[in-house]
Amino acid sequence: MADVVVGQASVTRSTGVRKRSSLRNAVKHKSTVAFLMTLPLIVLIAVLVLYPAVYSLHLATLSKSMTKFVGLGNFQFLFKRETFWLVVEQSCIFAITAVIFKALIGFIVAHFVHNIPAKGQRKWRGMLLVPWVIPPAMSTLAWLWLFDPSYSAFNYTLSFLNIGPVPWLGEASWARFSVILVNIWIGAPFFMIMYLAALKSVPDQLYEAAAIDGANWWQRIWYVTLPMMRNIIAITTLFSLIVTFANFDIVRILTAGGPLDQTHIFATWAFKVGIEGSDIPLGASVSLFMFPILAIAAIFILRDINKRGNEA
């Protein structure tokens, strides 16, 4: 502690003067140690995250055989393809619909859990979080089997209600519905748990004050709960938007993009084009289209986090 305080004092006294003292060395030593401690992290991020991100920009400008520079040729090619616009459309529908429903269901369920006596909350929360815990690839397999065209458990159940066999994954609009449904199933518990944590942090006095003022339950939610949870709702939604937009597992396993490329989203189409079709530059170009939405979401998240930092 002594080191730190004196170190700071000397800095405030004369920042410009370069004095060779043992104190300065100690401070220097400290920052060297700190740098060495973060070095593995920096190397990991630089080599395996930042470099590939930049490298994919470079890859996107190459020809299929990766020998020739084609500039924006890959993008021109993409813009002319109908499938590409289908993928853009489906990615947006998929991400936005799924996130809205996840947020809504999460909000509603969190309220129900919050409503019941504290003793039972743990049990219900435990059950409701199970979809989030199971690896998505594994649970999507269960959904694939539930949706199975000939032995579908859903269609068996619906047949009692005289609802004909539903082509869950066979028809474009149903397949789109199904991939979104599975995404909601996996993601809603995350919202539920975040909202529940936020609900618990809203002081009871605010509700008491609202109740004294004669607010009904809707007004309590609108004027007390929502404003208090605004920050957490924003961050959770943006987080989920990124994850959902970049989703791969669900669509890949359920439909692999079919029928007729109708359910492809950016990640699955990039995989199909880049890895299965071994056109790496084109695949890289496709996945780059995820970047703008991620950047926008990241800016908003960062702003919220900085705001919270200032409040604290």
Partner 1 sequence: MTTVTMDKAGPRRKVKQGSISRDRAWALRWSYFFLALFAIFSLTPPLYMLITSLKGSAEISAATNPWWVFHPTLGNYVELLTSSQFLRFFWNSAIVSIVVVAITMLISVPAAFALARMKFWGSTALATGVFLTYLIPDSLLFIPLFKMFATFQDWTGVQLLNRWYVLLLVYPTLTVPFCTWIMIGYFASIPKELDEAALIDGASWFQTLTRIFIPVALPGLIAATIFAFTVSWAQFLYPLVFTTSTDQQVLPVGIITTLIKGDVFNWGQIMTGALLGAAPPLIIYAFLMDYYIAGLTAGATKG
List all residues 6 or more positions away from 128 whose beta carbon is below 8 Å from its beta carbon. Answer: 109, 113, 189, 192
Among 161, 212, 292, 310, interactor with partner 1 by CB under 8 A = 212
Least distance to partner 1, CB of residue 23, Å: 14
Number of residues near partner 1 (by CB under 8 A): 102
What is d(CA 180, CA 216) in angstroms, rounded to the nearest whole number? 34
In the complex with partner 1, the residue whose CB is nearer, 163 or 275, is 275
By the rule CB under 8 A, 187 interacts with partner 1: no
Alpha-carbon span 131 to 102, nearest angstrom: 13
Two structure tokens written together for 163: 């609802």
9 or 42, CB closer to partner 1? 42
Q: Which is nearer to partner 1, 93 or 146 (CB)?
A: 146
Q: Quickly tell me which residue has 């986090």 as its tokens.
A: 305
Residues 6+ apart with CB under 8 A from 86: 261, 262, 264
Least separation in angstroms between residue 282's CB and partner 1 is 10
Task: Please report whether residue 138 would count as binding partner 1 according to CB under 8 A.
Answer: yes
Distance CA(228)–CA(144), nearest Å, equals 39
Query: 60 by DSSP, 3-state: which?
Result: coil
200 exposed, middle or buried (CB, 10 Å; 0-12, 13-18, 19+)?
A: exposed
Which of 23, 108, 215, 228 forms a contact with partner 1 (CB under 8 A)? Answer: 108
C-alpha–C-alpha distance, residues 258 and 171, integer Å = 9
Among 104, 163, 226, 294, binds partner 1 (CB under 8 A): 294
User: Is residue 98 a contact residue for partner 1 (CB under 8 A)?
Assistant: no
Q: Which of residues 234-293 bind partner 1 (CB under 8 A)?
A: 235-236, 239, 242-243, 245-249, 252-253, 266-267, 270-271, 274-275, 280, 283-284, 287-288, 290-291
Per CB under 8 A, 225 contacts partner 1? no
The runs of H, that is alpha helices, within the chain are: 2-13, 22-45, 51-59, 73-80, 82-115, 118-128, 130-133, 136-146, 153-159, 172-200, 204-212, 217-220, 226-245, 249-254, 266-271, 280-288, 290-311
Report the distance separating Cα 226 and Cα 103, nearest Å. 13
Report the residue from 7, 73, 131, 170 that binds partner 1 according to the rule CB under 8 A. 131
Binding to partner 1 in span 31-70, by CB under 8 A: 31, 33-35, 37-38, 40-42, 44-45, 48-53, 55-56, 59, 66
From the list 11, 104, 211, 226, which residue makes contact with partner 1 (rule: CB under 8 A)?
211
Nearer to partner 1, 163 or 298 (CB): 298
Q: Closest approach of Cβ 8 to partner 1, in Å?
A: 10
* Comparison of 86 and 284: residue with beta carbon closer to partner 1: 284
Is 30 one of the binding residues for partner 1 (CB under 8 A)?
yes
Q: Which of 68, 145, 230, 303 binds partner 1 (CB under 8 A)?
A: 145
